Structure 1
Amino acid sequence: MTEKLTITGSADLIAAVPHLLGTQPKESFVVLTSRFGTLGATLRMDAPAESAPLDYAQMMATYAANDDKATGSFVIVYTDEKPAYGFPYAAHVLALSSELAMARMPVRTVLLVTSAHWATYGTEEKNPLDTIRDSNANVTLTYFGSATDIDVYNPALLGRWALPVEAPEGTFEDLEMACATWEAVLDADGMPDTETARALAAAFQQRHLRDYLFRDTITTHNGSFGDVLTGKFTARPDWDRVDRAEAVAFELMKVVPAGQRAPMLTLMGWLEWLKGHGSQADRYLKLAAEDVSDFRLAVLLGELINRGNVADVALDADKSYKRRLI
């Protein structure tokens, strides 16, 4: 866990970010909250582009403020933007620093990371990226098995000649069978055999069954599909189970042809959104809408994300997803 990792400088802090997020940020703002010397939450948002500085800063500070134990913060700007004068997104950085200070999370350091170097924001220094790679944090995290740029979806592994599956009618018996099979697969070790995978993939094609399978991926729910869909859980979810569900969903995609993969892609996108990974979620949902033209659930979830909505569970520091580092 992160509390076992010692951060001794800026290079260590930058090195930890892709391990915390599971991906290397690009054209992004990252806020890390701190709690009396330890790291708290990690928040990433796309670089502001046309967003007004104050609007962007207030949105990001509001999300960061969900860590009610935070006493400070760090800001890292990832960009290759080169303004005509000054530093990239200067007005946004100033506004964000002001908003975080008002939220009682004063910014301790602002860093700038480009594809060629990193620096303390507002200075002319250009530190080589190798110092991040060779930092104590990166070496330690890598040694203990943490990896960056983790992506469950690998299209090269998808088959091309799988036969289509036939969706069940959606009877009560179908529902019981699908839910029991899904539960058993998520609780098992290894991946389901082909017959089981095809049976589950078929169940995901039936909208009524699909919704129950989505809901039952989370064990800390109150029964309401609407609450589950927006991440309103009664307690901290079993995130290991969520990670496994995402991996199993990809396995199910291997046993069906294109045109029947959208439900599993949508599940993967939704689970990424629950984790707070909006960009990855958006990617999976777009793939779902390409697999089945305008797949409705994927489109609706995509619209939710693009309006800047964050899952309730991702805003709760005690319930949110945290990657296991050490």
Structure 2
Amino acid sequence: MTPPERLTITGPEDILGFIPHSLGYWPANSLVAMTMQGKRLGATLRVDLPGLDSDSGLRRFSRTVRDYLEADHDADGTLLVLFSDEGWAGRTGPDSRDVPAGAPVQGTLGCLLAALEVELESSGRPVRDAWYVGEAFWRNAYCLDPSCCPFPGRSVDEIRDSRLNAEMVLRGSSVGEDPAGAAGVLPADAAADLSVLDAEQRWAGEFAARRGSRSQFATILDAWERVLAANAETGLPAELAGYLRASLCIPHWRDAVLVMSAAGRQAAEQGAEDFGMFDPDAGKHVVPPPFEPPGRKLPEGPPLERLPPAGPADDAACPVPAYGDVLLGLAPRSPRWDRMRALEGVLLQLGAAGGGEGGAASLTGRGWIEWCRGRGSFAHALLDQAVGAHPGYRLAELLAELVSRGTLCGWAGRRDAAWQKFEPDAA
């Protein structure tokens, strides 16, 4: 992966404008914490604001935030942003001038900020600055000077119109809808593609007697390698889409596709061997993929023999990572983010064809990729939709439990391995 372009931040509007682009949406009722390494921004964490009804609850929440941020071992400071509409009422009209100019806190959010200050100071990541952001206004949490920080605050339009926000838009970045309210990310009324679903049903019948076939497994991985290498952004032919969806309905084939995208083919093959997934192939012919149906042809990509190594950790002297380690982001040291992005694009196309087990597998794969990126809100929305598409879908339920507990993917917790949409420099 080539290093991302760096962005220069010159003021608080740029920092606050960076957050929605980093997350992919404008957060609400959220705490966003960003680690600092000198003058450089590090990791970004978003969590729902807790109930503010007890001191013990605030301390537990603050310790949890501290523990998350300790994953950035090089951090020496923290920036905090509290997105909430609490405390702005009565400060937007003529009476706003009656609010004491020196009031240092924003209602009970000030208690949360104080608790976070204590925990982050003790961990060696003291709070360097903090802001409150409401629906219409934002303000610095510490500024007491009414000449620069008058109530009710400064307009959020300053954030939306910031220099960095404009630069991000010009680079093609966009801020979407909060995944918590986006009906599972895909339109709820999206029409199923019956041609794809019919093809999936037919291929599933072919695969049923071959799920333990080593030769068929190799053919499935060949097909997925070719599709990922082509990285086609145009629609897949219906027969091929049905073939791929049907392959995802066999759990160890589905897991192998996920593992292969992140860690390479050798890990996918070795894991299947270790789990004893194969039966004798005698008498079973291989069902090849329909790559070139009449009138359609998948764009050609690089050769299919093997994906390029993911990095130093994939050197021949290193052990082949196990399925569990890959799915939890514990190995390899750095995943193939480019292949995972290609897989995400294919899964998006497959999931758009409709629900059922194939649709649930597609959504679950996308949810896993988002979790690997550290984007828990998007992962949770996709996994919820997967369970809705196929109730009881086990992998989606297991991943959703990890996300709900706040478990971080191993790659997301390490700066040298983490997915990076941007890499800004603070000035």
Common fold: TM-score over 0.5: yes
1:138 to 148, 160, 165: 165
Q: Which moved more, 1:91-100 or 1:311-320?
A: 91-100
2:228 to 186, 207, 223: 186
Q: 1:76 to 1:86 in 2, by over 3 A?
A: closer
**Equivalents in 1 of 2:325, 2:418: separation in Å?**
16
Runs of 5+ unmatched residues, structure 1: none
**Equivalents in 1 of 2:218, 2:185: separation in Å?**
29
Measured against aligned partners, the alpha-carbon deviations of 1:47-81 in whole angstroms (never above 9, x if no partner) come to: 12368111111111111122122221100011123
Equivalent residue for 1:147? 174
Measured against aligned partners, the alpha-carbon deviations of 1:141-179 in whole angstroms (never above 9, x if no partner) come to: 212222222889433655353434232231222211111
Which letter does structure 1 place at the counterpart of 2:192?
A: G
**Equivalents in 1 of 2:354, 2:10: separation in Å?**
49
Q: Does the alignment pair 1:321 with 2:341?
A: no
**Equivalents in 1 of 2:409, 2:154: separation in Å?**
36
Runs of 5+ unmatched residues, structure 2: 90-104, 144-150, 268-319
Q: CA RMSD in A?
A: 2.5
Q: TM-score, normalised by structure 2?
A: 0.71
Equivalent residue for 2:298? none
Equivalent residue for 1:14? 16
Secondary structure, in 3 states, of the residue corresponding to 1:31?
Answer: strand
Secondary structure, in 3 states, of the residue corresponding to 1:59?
Answer: helix
Q: Does the alignment pair 1:223 with 2:321?
A: yes
Q: TM-score, normalised by structure 1?
A: 0.91
Q: Over alpha carbons, which structure has the higher Rg?
A: 2
Question: Equivalent pairs: percent with the same residue?
Answer: 31
**Equivalents in 2 of 1:204, 1:240: separation in Å?**
20
Contact 2:34 2:44 in 1 (8 A): yes
Contact 1:141 1:325 in 2 (8 A): no
Equivalent residue for 1:204? 248
Which letter does structure 2 place at the counterpart of 1:97?
A: E
1:125, distance to aligned residue in structure 2 (A): 4.1
1:295, distance to aligned residue in structure 2 (A): 0.9
Contact 2:259 2:323 in 1 (8 A): yes
Q: Does the alignment pair 1:311 with 2:414?
A: no
**Equivalents in 2 of 1:200, 1:177: separation in Å?**
12
1:129 to 152, 156, 164: 156
Equivalent residue for 1:92? 112
Measured against aligned partners, the alpha-carbon deviations of 1:60-114 in whole angstroms (never above 9, x if no partner) come to: 1111122122221100011123499952433221111221122211111111111
Q: How many matched pairs?
A: 326
**Equivalents in 2 of 1:257, 1:43: separation in Å?**
32
Measured against aligned partners, the alpha-carbon deviations of 1:249-304 in whole angstroms (never above 9, x if no partner) come to: 01112345545311111111111111111111111111111111121111111112
Secondary structure, in 3 states, of the residue corresponding to 2:8?
Answer: coil
Q: 1:2 to 1:131 in 2, by over 3 A?
A: farther
Secondary structure, in 3 states, of the residue corresponding to 1:111?
Answer: strand
